[in-house]
Structure 1
Amino acid sequence: MNHMTYENWLEYARDELNEETREIYENHLYTCDHCLELYLKAVEETEFQMPEIAESSSFTDSVMHQVTGLKKPTTKPKRKISQKQTIFNYFVAAAVTLVLMSTGVFSQLMNMASSFENNEQKQADSFVQSFLNKQDSFTNKFEEILKEEDRHE
């Protein structure tokens, strides 16, 4: 296996390599534990080489000032349905129900449903009845043929 040197990993950690080489190094890290250890050491070393922020409190204050200066996205407040609106909706529903009941719409719907059921039952009965009638006529004809054959013999 071809291992990279510690200096190579330092260059990688400092982001001094081109994209193609970085990709090769990254793929190598997936398979090589030795190079992974070297890479972690290189990262630790470059971490200490990073410049420190001179005035951290002023930096924090400037960032917070920029954050508070950002506009908050305006969201439309959700319209809450008041209790009066809910009660009104129930009264309207009850009134419509009473009107439909007084005009007989529900009873007509029930009559229509029962008439559909009756029609289906009649059709089912008529199918069974017609099948039995055909079977009966077939057996009658068969018996007649047998009787005629008996006469001829």
Structure 2
Amino acid sequence: MKHIDNEKWILYVTDSLDEDTRVHYENHLYSCDHCLEQYLKAVQAAESQMPVLSNPLGFTDSIMKEIAVVEEKALIKPKKNLRKQAFMHYAVAAAMTLALMSAGVFSQLVSTVSAFENSAAKEERSIISGWLNEADSITEKIEENIREGNEHE
């Protein structure tokens, strides 16, 4: 297995490598304990070069306050936009309804649906009538057979 040298791990830790190389190094860390040790040494070396925070607790608090301010602004803005958007949607829907009503689309739709329902009802009656006629003919045949059977006895 080919190991990655310490200088390259320092480049990795300082984010000086391209994305493909970084992915390759990260995958290599899963299978190589030697390179994992080199990586940890590079992290320690890079950490010593980082600026020291004078007040780490204050730093965290200031970041949390900034996040709260950003979230608050994000929550305030959409309310105005949502009201305006909802009003526009209702206005467009009302305008389209009036236009369709004046064009007579809804009355044509109602007459088309009524015609469809009437044709479906006629088809149902004809199917049912056909079944009843078949049932009548079957019962007539049975009655004829019974009569013929009685006549032969």
TM-score, length of structure 1 as denominator length: 0.45
Quick check: which has more Rg, 1 or 2? 1
Question: Where is the helix percentage greater, Structure 1 or Structure 2?
Answer: 2
TM-score, length of structure 2 as denominator length: 0.45
